[in-house]
Amino acid sequence: MTTTTQPPRQPAHSSRQLYASDLLRLSSVGLRTRKLRAALSALGIAIGVAAIVAVLGLSQSAESGLLAQIDALGTNILTVSNGQTVFGQPAELPTQAPAIVRHIDGVTAVQDTGQVPNVDVYHSPLIPSIDTNALTVQATSLGLLSDIHDTLAQGTFLNAATAREPVAVLGAIAAQRLGIDWVFSGERIWLDNQWFYVAGILNQAVYASAIDTSVLVGFPAAETYLGFDGHPSTIYVRTQTDRTASVQPLLAKAANPEDPSQVSVSQPSEALTARAAAQSALNGLFLGLGAVALLVGAIGVANIMVISVLERRSEIGLRRALGATRRHIRMQFLSEAVLLSLIGGAIGVAVGAAAVASYTYLKGETTVIPTEAWAGGIAAAIVIGAIAGLMPALRAARMSPTEALWSL
Amino acid sequence: MSINGITRDCIPAAGPPHVLEVDSATKTYETQPPVAALRGVSFSVGAGELVAIVGPSGSGKTTLLHLMGTLDRPTSGAVRLAGTDVAALSDREIAFLRASRIGFVFQQFFLAEHKSLLDNVADGLLYAGVRTTVRRELALDALSAVGLAGRADARPTQVSGGQRQRVAIARALAGEPAIILADEPTGNLDQTTGQSILALFDVLHQRGATIVLITHDMAIARRMPRRIELLDGRIVADTRSAESLAAGAPTIQTAEHP
């Protein structure tokens, strides 16, 4: 079967690159033969990538939830509220302010609430008076709900009749703090030394979080029973969507022509967007921790590869004797390091994504794994593997085949 | 095959072309003090020859093997494999020469324990640019040639030492190399197993393989058709047995190289 003068199989007389399948098989030799060691050194990379994917995924999911809410509610709501006087006292908005604002071109609806000062609210007269629960009592106009996109959790809102009577509607947090979780006929609260009947409980208000900790009563009732002077403290203005920007600068002057500087105007959707962005900014810390884990993982991979090269000297020598070029040896060890950390990276992405998915599932949010998180995690793993594997691979390739084979 | 006009001292008058020529090769290791491992060695191996290179430790056997196997280059002189001067080749070209023209057999076998015997043999062709399927076919042929076709799927740890060396020989054979270089192939084996490996080399020789066997054991060298004796980096004798003389090859007793 053996003849001595056969022409070489290849027309080429110098070595060529390995087939991709062979390279893949070669690069996994070390991992397959030393599974535990490979697993442990991939773990560092996995933890780092998982941390990064989880942090980015969680913040993105939260942010996208918030932004989706904003999208659904629209960005055409502006709030006008009483600012402060130059002496730091709360300023008052004129009682006719809502009506004036309503006349601005582009405004489609106006609602207002007025904080009733010095009034506390309790579940019953038996509650000690210091347990105010930090709740406020607000007089409200009747169309408030639809304008600020809030909804009722239970019961009914105030109407023209109940607005004149001692009847209240509770904000979501106010109901919680008062210990009222459902509305029945005859349910009442102790408000400024008299009973008010509870008509309904609101859901959380996205755009008007002040409503959540408030007990709402009608303007006439507030004036009749609570001695309220009728000055609104917050005006919710709804505009045509494309006119929001042009309406905003006019509001201060319209609401308080005498002293526009005592009026503060804001756009709740903008505040929410800013909040979403602020949440992402906090992630820097955790991303930094993930990066440190990645660095430690990279050192682990480099360490394992250095040891592996030393242990496998005879294998390297044999491969050279079988016709491997230095390049073949270099590629083998480099791709082994890349494969090792790629496996770590893939596990990290899977774990990070699973963490995000289970968290958002529990919170009922949508799961968002940003592309830059998982693709970046994988890419970082590949780059780290290449860097960590470079030095050991160069050492392996530099090894002389005679030393590698005969110095054992 | 005229080589730079130099008259070779061991070119047969008529015979097969030379597979390997070592021409006044010296090798000095640049240690402190420098060690001259080979001090001018010349011989050639014709196609189909079975040659033993024998000598005590320190005689330069292993260094000579490095040079013949193109794993190292001579300090001076030349090594030609299948007519190609190794000195003229780049690392990649030498690697390809090793992949396609040289088969190594080592004392320690150097088999991968996690791979089947078949894959171990097939790996001998990994760097020769042969596709996987072809590699495995050739590997099976080579395993048959050493009598282990039936154990192709076994692991090296599941077979005896003699069988492991047969696998290593099959790996060297698989690419049908121009020359097989065996370094103390029976060194890790007991007497009987060693004899069976030598018998295998005889069989391969009869089928036409060119084999150079390096050993410190004169008894092994004596049973080979030709033996080159090394001492202190020089060839002290190049002897052919009676049978190979009968086959037509001349014996040259080298008193010493110039």
Query: Mean pLDDT of residues grouped by 10 in chain B (258 residues)?
Result: 39 61 92 90 93 92 92 92 87 90 91 92 89 91 91 93 93 91 91 91 91 93 93 93 63 45
The DSSP 8-state label assigned to residue B117 in this structure reads H
A172 phi, psi to nearest 5 deg = -60, -45
User: Chain B contact for A1, CB < 8 A?
Assistant: yes
Query: A15, B93: Cβ pair inside 8 Å?
Result: yes
Q: Of the candidates A18, A326, A402, which has its C-beta nearest B91's C-beta?
A: A326
Top-tier CATH class for B18-246: alpha beta
Looking at residue A4, what is its pLDDT? Answer: 44
Distances (CA, A) of A329 to A133, A377, B92, B95: 73, 27, 12, 12
User: Chain B contact for A325, CB < 8 A?
Assistant: yes
Is residue A93 within 8 Å of residue A237, measured between CB atoms? no
Q: Measured between beta carbons, which residues in chain B are less than 8 angstroms from residue A12?
A: 96, 129
Query: A406, B101: Cβ pair inside 8 Å?
Result: no
Q: Measured between beta carbons, which residues in chain B are less than 8 angstroms from residue A402?
A: 66, 71-72
> Two tokens at B113?
């324990």
Q: Of the candidates A6, A327, A402, which has its C-beta nearest B66's C-beta?
A: A402
User: Chain B contact for A328, CB < 8 A?
Assistant: yes
Q: Which residue of A has its CA nearest to B99?
A: A323
Distances (CA, A) of A27 to A335, A337, A390, B107, B253: 6, 8, 14, 27, 51
Helices A20-27 and A326-363 pack at an angle, to 10 degrees, of 70
How many A×B Cβ pairs under 8 Å? Answer: 134
Those of residues 15-44 in A touching chain B at CB distance below 8 A are 15-16, 18-19, 21-22, 26, 29, 32-33
ipTM above 0.90, yes or no: no
For testing the chain B interface, which of A22, A319, A322, A329 should be mutated: the one with the most B CBs within 10 Å? A322
With CA atoms as reference, report the closest residue to B159 among B177, B173, B172, B146: B146
* H or E segment and range at residue B140: helix B132-145
A314-324 tens-digit pLDDT: 999 999 999 99
Query: B126, A326: Cβ pair inside 8 Å?
Result: no
Query: A18, B93: Cβ pair inside 8 Å?
Result: no
Q: For all residues of chain A together, what is the average pLDDT?
A: 86
| b (16+ CB within 10 A) / e for B108-146 | bbbbeeebbbbbbbbbbbbbbbbeeeebbebbbbbbebb
Query: A405, B126: Cβ pair inside 8 Å?
Result: no
What pairs with residue A136 in β-bridges? Answer: A214
Looking at residue A256, what is its pLDDT? Answer: 86
Looking at residue A25, what is its pLDDT? Answer: 87
Is residue B179 within 8 Å of residue B100, measured between CB atoms? no
Q: Of the candidates A13, A15, A402, which has its C-beta nearest B71's C-beta?
A: A402
Looking at residue A166, what is its pLDDT? Answer: 93
Q: Of the candidates A5, A12, A32, which has its C-beta nearest B17's C-beta?
A: A5
User: Chain B contact for A3, CB < 8 A?
Assistant: yes
Query: A21, B129: Cβ pair inside 8 Å?
Result: no
The DSSP 8-state label assigned to residue B20 in this structure reads E
Q: Of the candidates A5, A8, A323, which has its C-beta nearest B127's C-beta?
A: A323
Under-50 pLDDT residues of chain A: 1-12
Q: Quote the pTM value.
A: 0.71
